[in-house]
Amino acid sequence: MSVLLLVEHDNASVADATLAAVTAAGKLGEVHALVAGTGAQGAAEAASKIAGVAKVLLADDPSYSHALAENVAPLVVELMASYDAFVAPATSNGKNIAPRVAALLDVMQISDILSVEDSDTFTRPIYAGNAIATVKSSDAKKVLTVRGTAFAKAEASGGSAAVETVSAKGDQGLSSFVGADISKSERPELTSAKIIVSGGRALQNGENFHALIEPLADKLGAAVGASRAAVDAGYVPNDYQVGQTGKIVAPEVYIAVGISGAIQHLAGMKDSKTIIAINKDEDAPIFQVADIGLVGDLFSVVPELTGKL
């Protein structure tokens, strides 16, 4: 089986999410990595070094500057004439591009796979991760997105794949890039951080969130996350959100501060290796998944903890 893998990149380097997708794709067959970008030679070279990548296809064109799905999908569909499966990380980009590819190929998409059972059969979460479905597809070509936390990351170095240039399909004229408002942070990126400190509605407002959660995170070298309630209330931007409709994370340590543990939040973090919960309600559902629980008022516990670190 031959597999076309969508590389998530910033033209210069390859995003971590790609590495787990390489591992998943490698379970199906030989992996060829597609780098669609502008001035993306650096990303193509980085992709060629990933262990498990047999070839890199570089489509370098201004129409791929911002990974607009309307432009990237037709390129993938053309290339898919030579492949049996298309695999993308289940990132915002992957989730934007893969459904268009599936529709244009007239096949089903299998989203957010957790395992590859065989070349036709995959597992994926349903009901916010409360059940795992085993899905068998009879489509001739598979279109898959991969949950990054479910697969080990391929080594970013050690490979030596050839980079082959493929011709671009150009601007389809269906969409255009207007602007990006990207929040910059010195802290680690949420989905690849080893430690995450997340705050919930209990913080009461943005000032408290910044004053209590961020110093603790900075002491630990951690990323900062939040529940949807904290995001909806405007304490922090929505790219902080962890959960079913936010980011899926699985760090070494996840510290949930004033978060109740609704199933939609657990769906995004329950695979964390060690979960620490701070909550004043000893019956809060978060304690059912926590490895370490501290029952107490966060307004006294968190400053004390930060001070002692």
Interaction site with ligand FAD (CB under 6 A): 200-202, 227-230, 241-246, 258-260, 262, 264-265, 268, 279-281, 284, 297-299
DSSP class of residue 148? Answer: G
For residue 15, the number of C-alpha atoms closer than 13 Å in the C-beta half-sphere is 23
Residue nearest to ligand FAD according to CB distances in the complex: 243
Nearer to ligand FAD, 41 or 204 (CB): 204
The minimum distance between CB 150 and ligand FAD, in angstroms, equals 18
The minimum distance between CB 128 and ligand FAD, in angstroms, equals 7
The minimum distance between CB 259 and ligand FAD, in angstroms, equals 4
Pairing of strands 115-118, 292-295: unpaired
The residues, any chain, with a CB within 8 Å of residue 170's CB and separated by 6 or more, are 61, 63, 71
Nearer to ligand FAD, 72 or 267 (CB): 267
The minimum distance between CB 270 and ligand FAD, in angstroms, equals 12
Pairing of strands 195-199, 253-257: parallel
The minimum distance between CB 231 and ligand FAD, in angstroms, equals 8
Q: How many residues does the chain have?
A: 309
The residues, any chain, with a CB within 8 Å of residue 273's CB and separated by 6 or more, are 250, 251, 252, 253
DSSP class of residue 233? Answer: T
* R_g of the chain, CA atoms, integer Å: 21
Nearer to ligand FAD, 19 or 262 (CB): 262
Nearest CA to 55 out of 76, 38, 33 is that of 33
The minimum distance between CB 222 and ligand FAD, in angstroms, equals 18
Nearer to ligand FAD, 103 or 294 (CB): 294
Nearer to ligand FAD, 44 or 286 (CB): 286
- Distances 77 to 6, 54, 71, 99, 203 between C-alpha atoms, Å: 12, 20, 11, 11, 47
DSSP 205-224: SHHHHHHHHHHHHHHHT-EE
- Distances 301 to 196, 259, 279 between C-alpha atoms, Å: 17, 14, 10
Nearer to ligand FAD, 37 or 246 (CB): 246
The minimum distance between CB 213 and ligand FAD, in angstroms, equals 12
Nearer to ligand FAD, 51 or 289 (CB): 289
